[in-house]
Amino acid sequence: MGQMTEEQVAELARIEGLLRARMEAVKPRRLKHSLNVSATAGDLALAYGVDEFLARAAGLLHDWDKVVPDDELAARAVQLGISFDAPVTQVLPLLHGPVAARELPDRFPDLPAEVFQAVDRHTVGAVDMSPLDMVVFIADGIEPMRNGEDIARLRTLVGEVSLPELFFECLAQGVCYVLQTRRYLYPGTLTVYNAYVERRGKRVAK
């Protein structure tokens, strides 16, 4: 724990308790993953000058709605007016971020909106990711339970490349994984990918 206040440490413990109550019995591995993402997000926050408390809180909460069955998630998404402009059956794995982001503020009214934005964006990303958004997205991809050489390579980049560059590498890895496993590639993800390719090109051209 870096430079958090006692109150912030206590608040994280409270959130973790609620997460345990929600997940431990039904999705113990998902709970472990969420705790790992929180810890990894905290480390990334310290490495890149992002607020550690917000990173850890968003890490704990990012998969809050992974315990909700797909059909219910889809129904809630429709109810909340969340539209992906894609067949709902294909985007089911992406819904838990945006749905949770709209429901969590009522449960955690003391947390700032930026935490919920990071939860929202952890499944698809966005063309204008904030540093906190990037930290949570990256932590989700490289936490210790994620296996494989590609993930190991991403971990070696932490602190060596800029935060946007690390995000771009994680996003590109995610796109590769989707293609390798022959899953549905959400067009919005490609839009985000292309936006960062363009931005990168500009940086390189300077």
Note the residues at the interface with Fe ion (CB under 5 A): 63, 140
- Minimal distance, residue 180 CB to Fe ion, in Å: 19
Torsion sign over Cα 167, 68, 113, 32: negative
- Among 136, 191, 195, 129, smallest CA distance to 164 is for 129
Distance CA 89, CA 138 (A): 26
Identity at 43, one-letter amino acid code: D
* CB-nearer residue toward Fe ion: 52 or 63: 63
Distance CA 145, CA 168 (A): 21
- Minimal distance, residue 69 CB to Fe ion, in Å: 15
* CB-nearer residue toward Fe ion: 120 or 140: 140
Tell me the backbone φ, ψ of residue 122, rounded to 5 degrees. Answer: -75, -20
* CB-nearer residue toward Fe ion: 122 or 163: 122
∠ CA 157-161-162, rounded to 5°: 130
- Minimal distance, residue 6 CB to Fe ion, in Å: 28
Return the H-helix or E-strand segment holding 166.
helix 163-180
* CB-nearer residue toward Fe ion: 58 or 163: 58
- Minimal distance, residue 66 CB to Fe ion, in Å: 6
Q: In this structure, are residues 43 and 59 in contact, taking their beta carbons and an 8 Å threshold?
A: no
- Minimal distance, residue 37 CB to Fe ion, in Å: 6
* CB-nearer residue toward Fe ion: 144 or 201: 144
